[in-house]
């Protein structure tokens, strides 16, 4: 077991609390593999066994309770106890067999997005196969012809089942281990949800007014950090199954978009960028050398997508003095939650002790080395260090060289 595998395990450990306890599937340990395993942070890798000439996976479509962050649980739909479902990893040319058991309350099917396969294995309920009835297991079998980054998701009552989280990543590693090798290979599934304050179940008919934006069905500050060594080559695979583009922005580095769900982009056609706009139903893979030491923000640049689920229907209180009014109203309505907010902006939210409805994530949480980071949703951190820490040790925040931090001006 090498260092990389340890980091995968470390990332997986953050998942434990979010796995529906009722799920009994044993995630088999993946043995030494010829490829760099993908780290879908906070999401397990799918187990398989070699059987009748194929790598056989088993996906169980089922309701899951997913912990998006501390004290914030969501009634979702997923696979094998997780949303997104476990990441499937195979090698170019592999014969793949996938058993899909339907434990959802309605029929389902699974589409293998981006994979080139026989029409009857395409998973479009009604068009290419019978919808899988409740309680039944269907089998898909095909050869993973091309390496690349793909997805799987429901294609039966699609809007509803995808809005509930029925999706996962599907990675096909190149046959040749020297094809575009990297030191770290991360994956994130981008999703949006509309979960009313105090409730647990997403509203699957919402089209544009979502209030929760997740990476791997986790929200800041619960999204694990990416920890790498200075000089490492890093790949991040971004998949979007939400309802709007997500312009993902990396601080401190320039990356190149190296692939989509349509395959690898020739190197001669790549160019440097710092924000990649990931369309819906699409994948953008970015690659870069992590040459800049520090703690670098990595987030969606739609600023509402780096906020928590609360507060988007607030009145505009900017410039309105109302602290005392709030206190008076609170006395009259002791059962209600009354706050004075926004008089001078919202930046103090992160430090406010608020009485919140049940199962509601505060708008801004997450302490950094210099105070509240004042973020939520699709935000995490790339940590670039001179040396990686010992096994299981927290890398902590970056120690800045003297004189390199913005500070009070003393002329």
Residues 369-388 close enough to bind a copy of itself by CB under 8 A: 369-375, 381
Of residues 143, 161, 57, 48, the one with CA closest to residue 100: 57
- Token digits for 341? 């907010």
Burial class (CB within 10 angstroms; exposed 0-12, middle 13-18, buried 19+) of 403: exposed
- Token digits for 47? 């187990």
Q: Does 316 bind a copy of itself (CB under 8 A)?
A: yes
Residue numbers 17-56 binding a copy of itself by CB under 8 A = none
Q: Does 327 bind a copy of itself (CB under 8 A)?
A: no
Residue numbers 224-263 binding a copy of itself by CB under 8 A = 243-245, 247, 249, 251-255, 260-263
Q: Does 354 bind a copy of itself (CB under 8 A)?
A: no
For residue 160, the minimal CB distance to a copy of itself (Å) is: 5
For residue 334, the minimal CB distance to a copy of itself (Å) is: 26
**13 vs 137, which CB is nearer to a copy of itself?**
137
Q: Does 408 bind a copy of itself (CB under 8 A)?
A: yes
For residue 1, the minimal CB distance to a copy of itself (Å) is: 31
Residue numbers 52-91 binding a copy of itself by CB under 8 A = 75
For residue 243, the minimal CB distance to a copy of itself (Å) is: 5
**335 vs 358, which CB is nearer to a copy of itself?**
358
**5 vs 359, which CB is nearer to a copy of itself?**
359
For residue 48, the minimal CB distance to a copy of itself (Å) is: 15
d(CA 319, CA 249): 32
For residue 287, the minimal CB distance to a copy of itself (Å) is: 13
d(CA 183, CA 289): 10
For residue 157, the minimal CB distance to a copy of itself (Å) is: 3
**334 vs 371, which CB is nearer to a copy of itself?**
371
**43 vs 364, which CB is nearer to a copy of itself?**
364
Q: Is 192 within 8 Å of 214 (Cβ atoms)? A: yes
Q: How many residues does the chain have?
A: 411
Q: Does 126 bind a copy of itself (CB under 8 A)?
A: yes
d(CA 234, CA 223): 18
For residue 151, the minimal CB distance to a copy of itself (Å) is: 10
**9 vs 134, which CB is nearer to a copy of itself?**
134
Of residues 361, 111, 380, the one with CA closest to residue 238: 380
Q: Is 131 within 8 Å of 86 (Cβ atoms)? A: no
Helix ranges (H only) for 228-337 are 323-332
Q: Does 359 bind a copy of itself (CB under 8 A)?
A: no
- Token digits for 207? 């089209």
Residue numbers 332-351 binding a copy of itself by CB under 8 A = 342-350
d(CA 195, CA 349): 20
What residues does 150 pair with on adjacent strands?
Answer: 170
Residue written as tokens 């009485």?
A: 355
For residue 51, the minimal CB distance to a copy of itself (Å) is: 10
Q: Is 278 within 8 Å of 285 (Cβ atoms)? A: no
Binding mask 258-297 for a copy of itself (x = CB under 8 A): --xxxx-xx--x-xxxxx-x-xxxx---------xxxxxx
Q: Does 392 bind a copy of itself (CB under 8 A)?
A: no
Residue numbers 157-216 binding a copy of itself by CB under 8 A = 157-164, 201-205, 207-209
**8 vs 168, which CB is nearer to a copy of itself?**
168
What residues does 278 pair with on adjacent strands?
Answer: 246
Residue-wise burial string across 208-221, b where 16 or more C-beta atoms lie within 10 A, e elsewhere: eebbbbbbbbbbbb
- Give the binding-site size for a copy of itself (rule: CB under 8 A): 126
Q: Does 143 bind a copy of itself (CB under 8 A)?
A: no
Rama region for 68: left / alpha / beta (φ>0; ψ in -120 to 50; rest): alpha
State how far the alpha carbon of 244 is from the alpha carbons of 59, 84, 191, 208, 377, in Å. 27, 18, 9, 8, 15
Burial class (CB within 10 angstroms; exposed 0-12, middle 13-18, buried 19+) of 116: middle
For residue 391, the minimal CB distance to a copy of itself (Å) is: 25
Applying CB under 8 A, among 107, 173, 237, 385 the residue interacting with a copy of itself is 107
Q: Does 365 bind a copy of itself (CB under 8 A)?
A: no
């Amino acid at each position: 077991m090498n260092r990389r595998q340890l980091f995968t395990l470390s990332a997986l450990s953050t998942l434990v609390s979010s796995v529906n306890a009722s799920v009994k599937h044993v995630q088999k340990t993946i043995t030494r593999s010829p490829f760099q395993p993908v780290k879908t942070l906070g999401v397990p890798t799918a187990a398989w066994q070699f059987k009748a000439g194929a790598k056989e996976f088993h996906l169980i479509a089922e309701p899951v309770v997913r912990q998006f962050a501390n004290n914030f649980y969501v009634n979702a739909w997923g696979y094998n106890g997780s949303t997104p479902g476990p990441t499937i990893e195979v090698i170019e040319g592999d014969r793949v067999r996938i058993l899909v058991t339907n434990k959802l309350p309605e029929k389902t099917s699974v589409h293998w997005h981006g994979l080139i396969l026989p029409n009857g294995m395409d998973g479009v309920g009604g068009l290419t196969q019978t919808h899988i009835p409740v309680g039944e297991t269907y089998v898909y079998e095909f050869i993973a012809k091309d390496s690349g980054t793909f997805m799987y998701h429901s294609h039966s009552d699609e809007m509803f089942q995808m809005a509930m989280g029925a999706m996962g990543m599907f990675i096909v590693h190149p046959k040749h281990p020297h094809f575009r090798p990297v030191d770290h290979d991360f994956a994130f599934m981008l999703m949006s949800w509309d979960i009313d304050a105090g409730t647990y179940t997403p509203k699957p008919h919402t089209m544009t007014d979502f209030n929760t934006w997740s990476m791997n069905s986790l929200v800041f500050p619960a999204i694990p950090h990416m920890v790498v060594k200075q000089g490492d080559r890093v790949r991040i695979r971004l998949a979007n199954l939400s309802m709007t583009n997500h312009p993902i922005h990396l601080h401190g580095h320039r990356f190149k978009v190296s692939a989509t769900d349509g395959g690898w982009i020739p190197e001669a056609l790549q160019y440097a960028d710092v924000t990649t706009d990931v369309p819906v139903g699409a994948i953008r893979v970015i690659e870069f050398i992590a040459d800049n030491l520090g703690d670098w923000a990595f987030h969606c640049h739609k600023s509402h997508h780096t906020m928590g689920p609360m507060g988007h229907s607030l009145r505009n209180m900017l410039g309105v003095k109302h602290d005392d009014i709030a206190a008076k109203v609170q006395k009259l309505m002791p059962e209600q939650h009354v706050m004075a907010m926004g008089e001078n902006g919202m930046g103090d939210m992160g430090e406010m002790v608020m009485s919140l409805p049940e199962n509601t994530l505060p708008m801004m949480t997450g302490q950094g080395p210099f105070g509240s980071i004042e973020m939520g949703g699709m935000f995490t951190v790339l940590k670039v260090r001179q040396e990686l820490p010992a096994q299981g040790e927290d890398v902590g925040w970056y120690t800045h060289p003297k004189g390199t931090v913005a500070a009070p001006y003393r002329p």
